[in-house]
Amino acid sequence: MTDAEMTRLFQTSKNVAMVGLSDSPGRASHGVARFLQAQGYRVIPVNPALTEVLGEKCYPRIEDIPEDIDIVDIFRKSEFVAEVVADALKKHPRCIWMQEGVVHHDAAKTAEAAGVAVVMDRCILKELARLLPRY
């Protein structure tokens, strides 16, 4: 995804499903979610072990979320990404985002074949701050 495409994605997205969002303030996913919320995005937690995070109802799977999803942000180990992407594609998101350290080339190819943009091994917070510094 080019910088221009990423900028458009950020400017036109509202709902971010964050898979693996932790309720622990010390975890990276928690900090990224709080940052996204502060920028006006609705962060929808996906974690079967929790019921609520950062004031939002938590869902066990992406497909359980009743709203449309623009971006699926994955904070899970790479070995679980294929399963997450398969679940995510049922909701037809605009983008699958794999956080830093999360890499799964086959899952990325599957998403791209379904017409979904993919960003892999990059931090959504860092990219948003870099591309839209007003945030």
> Which domain CATH number covers 12?
3.40.50.720
- Does 134 score more than 70 pLDDT? no
Q: Quote the number of domains for the chain.
A: 1
Tell me, what's the pLDDT at 17?
98
Note the helical H segments in 21-116.
28-38, 81-89, 105-113
Burial of residue 26 (CB within 10 Å: 0-12, 13-18, 19+) is exposed
Domain containing residue 9: 3-131
Percent of the chain with pLDDT over 70: 99
Q: What does the pLDDT look like over 44-94, one tens digit per residue?
A: 999 999 999 999 999 999 999 999 999 999 999 999 999 999 999 999 999
Q: Which pTM does this prediction carry?
A: 0.95
